[in-house]
Structure 1
Amino acid sequence: MTADGTPVRVGVFGLLGSGNLGNDGSLEAVLGYLRAEHPAAVVDALCGGPEAVTARYRIPATRLHWYRGEYRTASRAGSIAAKGLGKLVDAVRTAAWVRRHDVVIVPGMGVLEATLPLRPWGFPYALFLLCASGRLLGTRVALVGVGASAIADRPTRALVRWSARLAAYRSYRDALSRDAMRAMGVDTARDEVYPDLAFALPAPPPGAPSDAPSDAQGPVCVGVMAFHGGNDDRDRAEEIHRRYLDGTTRFVRTLVEDGRPVRLLTGDGVDAPVAAAIVDAVGSPLVTVSDAASLAELMAEAAAADAVVATRYHNLVCALKAGTPTLALSYAAKSDALMAGMGLGTYCHPAREVDADRLVEQFRELEQRSAELRRTLAERNLAASRHLGQQFAALTAALFPATGRAGGTTDTNTDTDTDTRARVLKEAP
């Protein structure tokens, strides 16, 4: 409640409901926090896939962009004009939406980075409109547990920098992100680093014992991605993708030749053709594709596997949260930082230069240390859960000062608060 007794109006913002499971998992974690600690809050979204968000999370949602073809390449004069008009309309629409809220939360996601191809007038412009509207209209905008990276493209860098400066609250999912924003001219003296928001989601149940014979080994999850390099790799995107696909396919084929069942995981709708290409190339019934539609389902897949090899950042998060020994096909420094923070920094392999033979060697070493690594992950997951309890306490103190909730959480309370949020998430529709 606000000071005058009316419910706090909270908006959530981002490319949510658009098919990216990592983005939706961050939203789910924040909704769990709000429902557990601020149950009277009235919540709605401005997002990429409003129909999906409303159907899944039972909150009203509005389309992020007026022009429905925002993320399609505009080649004809009509579409170019519509896209340009959309930028003006979105400025008005965003300000009107922000004005209706006391608080707007951007839940996690790599909203301040350009580790994948990105145009400045797409999401960076939308985020700038949000943060500028919040500052002008007196609505507190919070960038919560977000990812960031140093950005070379000047227009994108300027939009990202000003978005961060105009936000009322910032926290990051790793120290590299905070360092990147500092390097781009943002004062980060009061900004904190916490684990990725997905670590606040309920842990999956332990996987069932493998059905493989005692002299064999069980299933392996391989997370694949429509990887074409980063924002600065556009001139060789197809070459990077071909090397990634060829190397990953060779690795999967080696696993199959050893008699290992392989479950291909994706994290976004655009990854499906990559999984299909690997299935066709290997041509074995041992290779199947997961139809997981949420991070919870991805975690369950990872929990049932002996080991995971994955590319997408939130595929890695799911595997680590599940406590399964994991090897990263790393495409950005954020993946390396995540793996190091969870005690598996040795098990990273460059996605741009997949060497199938070397990858097999790393994978076999990973499996030899499986029991040890599972103990390490159990310890790191417990620490991450406690740290995220502190994140949510800090968020309450910064954004909900009139609610009367405590501004901080002691270690003795953190586990209870985390358990409450997990229970709310499990019970949510």
Structure 2
Amino acid sequence: MTSADGSPVRVGLFGLLGSGNLGNDGSLEAVLGYLRAEHPEAVVSALCGGPEVVTARFGIPATRLHWNRGEYRTASRAGAVAAKGLGKLVDVFRTAAWVRRHDVVIVPGMGVLEATLPLRPWGFPYSLFLLCATGRLFRTRVALVSVGAAAIGNRPTRALVRWSARLAAYRSYRDAPSRDAMRAMGVDTTHDEVYPDLAFSLPTPPASAPSGPPGRVCVGVMDFHGGNDDRARADEIHRRYLDGTIRFVRALVGEGRPVRLLTGDECDASVVAAILDAVDSPLVTAAEPKSLADLMKEMAAADTVVAIRYHNLICALKTGTPTLAITYAAKSDALMDRMGLGAYCHPARELDADRLFEQFRALEKQSAELRQTLTERNRAAARLLDHQFHALTAALFPAAGRTQTLREAP
């Protein structure tokens, strides 16, 4: 695949990648798989949160997203505040220079158009706006691929997100509520499509043999404090979530069930430690997954999964394991409904251990039927993502798309 002057097409990948979030890195892995299979001659690099991790794991050159290395630390001293301010200015020129070196930039999945977790407008929303604005300025095609979106109350954040979406050359969403949210925020979504999350295109580990009674339960946890609109009661939300999760794990242990605690981000380790400390039992163990593949291996070996993080849910559903979702945003409810498990959702902000255990029992009674449903839905997701990758080639790499069409012509 080459550009108009005959040189290889230069593709950039952008986002909070390599920063400890397994879901984000899974989306990157999915797009790299597509590029290496369909456009092997492309020259690929990244502008991301953890460049050292991305280069070491994925073998592509990477540049740090922010000039200021303390970008995501709270600034209280005058020097730190000044450094943040200067960093915002420097990042304008750094982002512009990086974008200008590429023909195409892909934002691989992630919830880049939402604020369902605490988020400041001058953090990632500002970075995304710089990307899309400089992409338009230098005629570099920017694609938001299977991204998540949600209605945003904070006006500066909403404005930055809205303009980022408007300036992108290609947009697709990982669920219908995401597209609806962008339409409600004033973005023309007439030509935008909805596809499954990119993680559904990743390889699935082979199914494990049944563990036998009593079967293992994987419990995915999160350092959950609510979202942007919950800052005033963040501590209360966290206590309720943690206390309810501890009670639920104790109930499982009381029935002799082995419990495997799973995370999805480095920040979740404190929740795992709190549960292990509160439930002192050899039946409770914790995994240290380094990728979505690690998560899927754990979940494929379980009888049942109960999880809160979005990509933990995806990993469980993709392996065909009956799953109960502790939901904190519409994206989780939409995912569960799409996969045929819409009845098995529980609100994270009002976690009730007794009610959660009732839902768990109901889920396990339907285990065989749900596994069959998940097999069918996973096949459909794979077909849809294959369609998206063809559409992406046509939108971003028109020369390659024309060549492919000619090859396929009878």
- Calculate the TM-score normalised by the size of structure 1: 0.93
Structure 2 residue 335 is the aligned partner of structure 1 residue 334: no
Alignment pair present for 1:323 and 2:320: yes
Aligned equivalents of 1:196, 1:139: Cα separation in 2: 24
Partner of 1:368 in structure 2?
A: 365
> Match of 2:169, as an amino acid?
A
In structure 2, the residue matched to 1:237 is 234
Residue 249 of structure 2 corresponds to residue 248 of structure 1: no
Counterpart position of 1:420: none
What amino acid maps onto 2:115 in structure 1?
A: A
Secondary structure of the 1:232 match is helix
Code of the aligned partner of 1:183: A
For the 8 Å contact 2:210–2:303, the answer to whether it is kept is: no
Note closer, same or farther for the CA distance 1:29–1:391 as it changes in structure 2 (3 Å cut): same
How far does residue 4 in structure 1 lie from its aligned partner after superposition? 2.8
Identify the residue that residue 396 of structure 2 maps to in structure 1.
Answer: 399
**Is residue 2:374 matched to residue 1:377?**
yes
Q: Partner residue of 1:173? A: 174
Q: Within 5 A, what are the aligned runs for 1:218-237?
A: 218-237=215-234
Is the contact made by 1:396 and 1:407 (CA closer than 8 Å) also made in structure 2? no
Structure 2 match to 1:147 = 148
- Pair 1:188-2:185 in alignment: no
Q: What SS does structure 1 have at the residue aligned with 2:391?
A: helix
Q: Is 1:309 the equivalent of 2:306?
A: yes
Preserved contact between residue 219 and residue 260 of structure 1 (Cα < 8 Å): yes
Q: 1:405 to 1:280 in 2, by over 3 A?
A: farther
SS at 1:188's partner residue? coil
Taking structure 1 as reference, are residues 10 and 236 closer, same or farther at Cα in structure 2, changes over 3 Å only? same
Q: 2:351 aligns with which of 351, 354, 361?
A: 354
Secondary structure of 1:85's match?
A: helix
Cα distance, 1:207 vs. partner? 1.4
SS in structure 2 opposite 1:4? Answer: coil
TM-fit CA distance, 1:407: 6.5
SS of the residue aligned with 2:228? coil
d(CA) in 1 for partners of 2:349, 2:210: 34
Is residue 393–residue 407 contact of structure 1 (8 Å, CA) maintained in 2? no
1:208 & 1:108 partners in 2: Cα distance?
A: 32
Tell me by how many angstroms 1:34 deviates: 0.1
Q: Could you tell me which residue of structure 1 aligns to residue 126 of structure 2?
A: 125
Provide the C-alpha distance between the structure 2 equivalents of 1:382 and 1:366, rounded to a whole number of angstroms: 22
Cα deviation digits, residues 39-92 of structure 1 (max 9, x gap)? 000000000000000000000000000000000111000000000000000000
Contact 1:397/1:405 (<8 A) preserved: no
Aligned to 1:258: 255
SS at match of 2:282: coil
Contact 1:397 1:407 in 2 (8 A): no
Structure 1 residue ranges (4+ consecutive) displaced by more than 6 angstroms after TM superposition = none
* 2:116 and 2:329 in contact (8 A); partners too: yes
- Relative to structure 1, the CA distance from residue 359 to residue 186 in structure 2 (aligned partners, 3 Å threshold; closer, same or farther) is same
> Quick check: 2:221–2:263 contact (8 Å CA) kept in 1?
yes
Q: Is the Cα contact below 8 Å between 1:323 and 1:374 reproduced in 2?
A: yes
Question: Residue 93 of structure 2 aligns with which residue?
Answer: 92
The alignment partner of 1:2 has SS state of coil
Whichever residue aligns with residue 29 of structure 1, its letter is A
2:296 to 295, 299, 323: 299
State how far apart, in whole Å, the 1-side matches of 2:121 and 2:376 are.
40
Q: Match for residue 6 of structure 1? A: 7
Q: Which residue of 1 aligns with 2:107?
A: 106
Tell me the SS of whatever aligns to 2:13. strand
Q: Which runs of 5+ in 2 are unaligned?
A: none
1:204-237 per-position Cα deviation (integer Å, ceiling 9, x unaligned): 1101321x4xxx3210000000000011000000
Secondary structure of residue in 1 paired with 2:261: strand
Distance 1:3 1:207 in 2: 49
Tell whether 2:285 aligns with 1:285. Answer: no
Q: Secondary structure at the match of 1:352?
A: coil
Tell me which amino acid in the other structure corresponds to 2:308. T
Partner Cα distance (1:231, 1:301) in 2: 31
Provide, for residues 302-346 of structure 1, a one-character-per-residue CA deviation record: whole Å limited to 9, x for no partner: 100000000000000000001000000000010000000000000
Conserved in 2, the CA contact under 8 Å of 1:48 and 1:64?
yes
Q: Does 1:16 align with 2:13?
A: no
Kindly, what percent of the aligned residue pairs are identical?
Answer: 80
C-alpha contact (below 8 Å) 1:112/1:146 kept by paired residues: yes
TM-score (norm 2): 0.98
CA distance in 1, matches of 2:359, 2:214: 16
CA distance in 2: counterparts of 1:368 and 1:183, whole angstroms = 40
| TM alignment of 1:36-115, pairs within 5 A | 36-115=37-116
Aligned residues: 406
Say if 1:289 and 1:407 are closer, same or farther in 2 by CA, change over 3 A.
Answer: farther
After TM superposition, give the deviation of residue 405 of structure 1 in Å: 4.3
Distance 2:267 2:289 in 1: 14
User: In structure 2, how many angstroms separate the alpha carbons of the residues matched to 1:353 and 1:400?
Assistant: 47
The whole-number CA distance in structure 2 between the counterparts of 1:373 and 1:104 is 38
Amino acid of the residue matched to residue 65 of structure 1?
H
Query: Which residue identity does 1:110 align to in structure 2?
Result: G
Match of 2:198 in 1: 197
- The answer for the alignment partner of 1:275 in structure 2 is 272
Q: Measure, in 1, the Cα distance between the counterparts of 2:133 and 2:285.
A: 46
1:402 deviation in Å? 1.3
